[in-house]
């Protein structure tokens, strides 16, 4: 049974980290005319109303995007994606991809929760967008290598089930055997318990050339276990590492 709903967390500091990094990667990839594939294993609903009671209740967006938005340069691709989103809404990762990709690119978006999936289908429509109401990790294995082969996959589980941490390294090894040219971005929370650490060590040992980028921020409220956000990027575009270092500096301003 899925209980996680991203509306409670949309726009938090971790979302900003993941979405800004995704926007940078898409910006690199779209500098060439060649079409590409964008795949998401855990898409969510795509668009979020941050004035909804659920978002206001946690106050996470107030600590995240509301404080960080102005720090992004006008020409940062994340700023471009935010500006392309209808007024009053916050773009989830599928909407960021739609904003930065071209009609010649193909989007594959998986979301398992029936209501989130219904909202995703409504919010993300287009002849080049395919949505799937099924397990995203399984779907990814069946679609890879995608057509076109050039592209990026975002893996953004909610880690509701502790087994997710153990599953991801094995899943990634199988995936990269099929799709060795793909950029794969795996998001993970940095928890004060350190529960994510064995997974990160396993990923780094299996993919020594990959990039790990982490930012820290104060917990969204007293007792909140998440104290930072991490991204593990296989086949990172050249230049991404230095862009992400600039992102680290921006997060330092959060204290
Ligand atoms: N990537 C989204 C964004 O940045 O806007 C947020 C995704 S949210 C962290 C995780 C989503 O994964 C939830 O909407 C949840 O319903 C969905 N989910 C959970 N298990 C899944 C699975 N096995 N396959 C696909 N989606 C799943």
Q: Each residue of 144-184: pLDDT tens digit?
A: 999 999 999 999 999 988 889 999 999 999 999 999 999 99
How many CB atoms are closer than 10 A to CB 254?
A: 16
How many CB atoms are closer than 10 A to CB 3?
A: 7
Q: Is 196 in the pocket of ligand 1 (CB under 6 A)?
A: no
User: What is the Å distance from ligand 1's center to 206 Cα?
Assistant: 25
Pocket probe mutation, ligand 1, options 21, 42, 162, max atoms within 8 Å of Cβ: 42
Pocket probe mutation, ligand 1, options 15, 18, 22, 43, max atoms within 8 Å of Cβ: 43
Query: Sign of the C-alpha dihedral, residues 198, 15, 52, 191?
Result: positive
CA distance 145 to 134: 18
Question: Span 103-122, mean pLDDT?
Answer: 97
Of ligand 1's atoms, which has the minimum distance to the CA of residue 96? Answer: 5
Confidence band for 1, pLDDT divided at 50, 70 and 90:
low
Q: Is 156 in the pocket of ligand 1 (CB under 6 A)?
A: yes
- Return all residues near 69 (Cβ < 8 A) that are at least 6 apart: 82
User: What is the Å distance from ligand 1's center to 35 Cα?
Assistant: 26
Average the pLDDT over each of 141-155, 179-193, 220-234 and give the range with the smallest value: 220-234
Q: Is 113 in the pocket of ligand 1 (CB under 6 A)?
A: yes
CA distance 248 to 195: 22
Of ligand 1's atoms, which has the minimum distance to the CA of residue 91? Answer: 5
pLDDT of 254 strictly over 90: no
Pocket probe mutation, ligand 1, options 111, 163, 164, max atoms within 8 Å of Cβ: 111
Average the pLDDT over each of 73-82, 182-191, 217-226 and give the range with the smallest value: 217-226
Q: Is 226 in the pocket of ligand 1 (CB under 6 A)?
A: no
Q: Which CATH class is domain 6-254?
A: alpha beta
Q: Provide the annotated active-site residues.
A: 156
Q: Is the peptide bond before 148 cis (omega within 30 degrees of 0)?
A: yes
Q: Is 110 in the pocket of ligand 1 (CB under 6 A)?
A: yes
- pTM score, two decimals? 0.97
């Amino acid at each position: 049974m899925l209980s996680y709903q991203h509306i409670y967390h949309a726009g938090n500091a971790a979302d900003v980290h993941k979405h800004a990094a995704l926007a940078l990667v898409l910006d690199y990839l779209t500098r060439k005319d060649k079409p590409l594939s964008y795949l998401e294993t855990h898409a969510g609903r795509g668009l979020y109303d941050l004035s909804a009671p659920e978002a206001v209740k946690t106050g996470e967006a107030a600590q995240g995007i509301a404080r960080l938005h102005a720090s992004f340069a006008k020409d940062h691709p994340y700023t471009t994606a935010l500006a392309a989103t209808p007024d009053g809404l916050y773009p989830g990762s599928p909407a960021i991809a739609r904003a930065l990709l071209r009609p010649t690119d193909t989007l594959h978006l998986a979301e398992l929760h029936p209501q989130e999936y219904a909202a995703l289908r409504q919010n993300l429509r287009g002849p080049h967008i395919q949505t799937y109401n099924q397990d995203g990790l399984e779907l990814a294995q069946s679609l890879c290598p995608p057509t076109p082969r050039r592209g990026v996959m975002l893996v953004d589980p909610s880690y509701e089930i502790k087994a997710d941490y153990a599953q991801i390294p094995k899943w990634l090894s199988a995936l990269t055997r099929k799709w060795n040219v793909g950029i794969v971005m795996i998001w993970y929370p940095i928890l004060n318990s350190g529960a994510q650490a064995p997974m990160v060590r396993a990923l780094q040992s299996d993919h020594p050339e990959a990039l790990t980028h982490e930012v820290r921020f104060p917990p969204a409220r007293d007792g909140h276990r998440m104290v930072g956000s991490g991204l593990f990027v296989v086949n990172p575009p050249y230049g991404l590492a230095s862009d992400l270092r600039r992102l680290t500096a921006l997060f330092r301003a959060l204290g």
